[in-house]
Structure 1
């Protein structure tokens, strides 16, 4: 059963963009954020913690560890969704970026594979589709429309995992995405919406929507946003881990 999480936080928190296996950058970001906001900081992830980077399983297991320590929350996302479907034995198209995660998994001994398979599947299946924080911020992987908030049906799941496309394709063969933030009507009661999925060079802010996937795996930077302070934290990528030309 899909659901969304209504989270009431009294501790400081940040929302982190798509990590994509950039483990070192993620750990550095948490360190900087804790220095800035305190050791009791809560980290919320927009998802896509794996694929494309060099430390995919390491990143995933670290997030699961933080989750069980009650320091971390995550929403469902398309990359982890696809990996979980593969772990279940479903026939999925393994892209180059996903192949890095699959290869890491297959390099493990069989006993460890089975142990992690169950651990990862149960972790992912318990994740919410999106998180409403303190009634004034919504975190969703690819974003969410105001009329979807409070729902957890198939239409909402499709939107929060994949966003909205035009039906056309870019020169590189990727689906052309609609900027759903342009049509949003906001007033004094509108929540901030923080999302990832679509890569920007810098955080994209429009109509109280904050796109914070800044291409960490592409050699740019990993971004976190503090909605309460309206502040960003950036960690420069250590290297280019992935390009769409591969």
Structure 2
């Protein structure tokens, strides 16, 4: 659904950073969350659950199962959008990270492929563009500016899924990103914004914005954040699954 979703809850809420097919660490994090906060904790994924890692199909299936509990919400993201477009038969540029996902998909029996395709299309079309929790926390894959919150248009969708760039590219061929948190003006009423997309060695906190993609798939760690308790949880990566070199 290309719109934001707002929820009101008195349950614990924990937001998990980019997973990228790191199923073992993902499952360990979910267990850690349940152990610390209880089984009825609402778990939110910032997206990018696929590509680059070793267990992309299994991670998708795990997300489907979690969603059925009613206590798991994933938001839209660039890698998952690309997979959705591929399943819909649209032309996409298949990067080395996405190739790992597609290679895994085409190795399963044809009937299972079709079932996965149908399930994933339904699943992705159910995901909110971004999530507003209790009016005080916003989860958006690549971030969101305050004037965008509660709204939706093409420009906002591009920002929250792909982030803000300079139009230039790095030496490795990736878009040069702008730090949208740098000039954010905040006060006591400003919402906490939690996002992924940009990889940091440790959580990046700036002007009530929390970047929690800590490169699990690159061999660092998976990070989760409870915004109402201001607590982090970490799971060390079992190995380096992917490299940009």
Please indicate the TM-score interval, normalised by the length of the shorter structure: over 0.9
Quote the residue 2:64 is aligned against: 64
Say which is worse superposed, 83-92 or 200-209, in terms of deviation: 83-92
TM-score, normalised via structure 1 length: 0.98
Alpha-carbon distance in structure 2 between the residues aligned to 1:4 and 1:164: 19
What per-residue deviation string (whole Å, max 9, x for no partner) do you get for residues 77-104 of structure 1? Answer: 0000001101111111100100010011
Indicate whether 1:8 and 2:14 are aligned.
no
Quote the residue 1:98 is aligned against: 98
Quote the residue 1:203 is aligned against: 203
TM-score, normalised via structure 2 length: 0.98
Residue 167 of structure 2 aligns to a residue in which SS? strand
Quote the residue 1:116 is aligned against: 116
Say which is worse superposed, 30-39 or 132-141, in terms of deviation: 30-39
What per-residue deviation string (whole Å, max 9, x for no partner) do you get for residues 187-240 of structure 1? Answer: 111000000000000000000000000000000000000001101000000000
Residue 180 of structure 1 aligns to a residue in which SS? coil
Alpha-carbon distance in structure 2 between the residues aligned to 1:36 and 1:192: 22
Residue 21 of structure 2 aligns to a residue in which SS? coil
Unaligned runs of 5+ in 1: none
Quote the residue 1:40 is aligned against: 40
Indicate whether 1:223 and 2:212 are aligned.
no
Alpha-carbon distance in structure 1 between the residues aligned to 2:124 and 2:134: 23
Quote the residue 1:238 is aligned against: 238
Residue 196 of structure 2 aligns to a residue in which SS? strand
Alpha-carbon distance in structure 1 between the residues aligned to 2:199 and 2:228: 23
Deviation at 1:40, TM superposition (A): 1.2
Alpha-carbon distance in structure 2 between the residues aligned to 1:89 and 1:33: 37
Alpha-carbon distance in structure 2 between the residues aligned to 1:116 and 1:60: 9
Quote the residue 1:184 is aligned against: 184
Quote the residue 1:31 is aligned against: 31
Deviation at 1:150, TM superposition (A): 0.8
Quote the residue 2:146 is aligned against: 146
Alpha-carbon distance in structure 1 between the residues aligned to 2:208 and 2:140: 14
Give the superposed CA RMSD: 0.8
Say which is worse superposed, 227-236 or 63-72, in terms of deviation: 63-72
Alpha-carbon distance in structure 1 between the residues aligned to 2:83 and 2:39: 32
Quote the residue 1:107 is aligned against: 107
